[in-house]
Amino acid sequence: MTFNHPIDDRYFEDYQVGDVHDFGIAEVTEERIVSFAQEFDPQPFHVDPGAAADGPFGGIVASGWHTCGLMMRMYADHYLSRVASLGGPGIDELRWLAPVRPGDKLSVRATVEQARPSRSKPDRGLVHTRVEVLNQHGDVVMRAVILNFLRIRHAAG
């Protein structure tokens, strides 16, 4: 499904409950996995090929936080409004369901689960989006519900 408005003219009203949007592609390399993990999550199965081979995943795997970062880039590039985004109060139900390995190609499926105008600030609404990150085989490797505040179109002008 595609939005009726481009990302630079997308407002709260354009996020309709039940709409499903598939987008993005992020290719995962061992070099990027190790680089990210060395800085942010230096567990052996993320940074040391020898230790990872004997570890729980049988080889190097991406940190879940790296997967979140890749998802966020695709979410910002393809889904989240460039003109109406006002940040968000958080993420619910974050789960890493399968390891992300070198050579994986990830994409995102975003389903609008809830959208309601703010009770206290009439210029915005709150959107709950179920995000699934899928590998090239269609396996869901990460799932979360992301909450975003977005400006209402008529309030923007």
- In terms of residue numbers, what domain contains 86? 7-156
HEC secondary structure over 15-60 = CCCCCEEEEEEEECCHHHHHHHHHHHCCCHHHHCHHHHHCCCCCCC
In a domain, 146, yes or no: yes
Question: How many CB atoms are closer than 10 A to CB 137?
Answer: 9
pLDDT of residue 154: 84
* 145 in Cβ contact with 93 (< 8 Å): yes
**81-113 confidence digits (pLDDT tens):** 999 999 999 999 999 999 999 999 999 999 999
Count H helices, E strands: the chain?
5, 5
In a domain, 72, yes or no: yes
Is 157 a residue whose pLDDT tops 80? Answer: no
Number of domains observed in the structure of the chain: 1
Q: What are phi and psi of 52, to 5 degrees?
A: -65, -35
In a domain, 39, yes or no: yes
Both tokens of residue 44? Answer: 């052996």
In a domain, 2, yes or no: no
For residues 33-47, b (16+ Cβ closer than 10 Å) or e, as one string? bbebbeeebeeebbb
Q: What is the mean pLDDT of residues 2-26?
A: 96
Q: How confident is the model at residue 155 (pLDDT cuts 50, 70, 90)?
A: low
In a domain, 34, yes or no: yes
In a domain, 1, yes or no: no
**126-151 confidence digits (pLDDT tens):** 999 999 999 999 999 999 999 999 99
Both tokens of residue 142? Answer: 């990460």
CATH of the domain at 66: 3.10.129.10
Please give the share of the chain, as a percent, with pLDDT higher than 90: 95
In a domain, 93, yes or no: yes
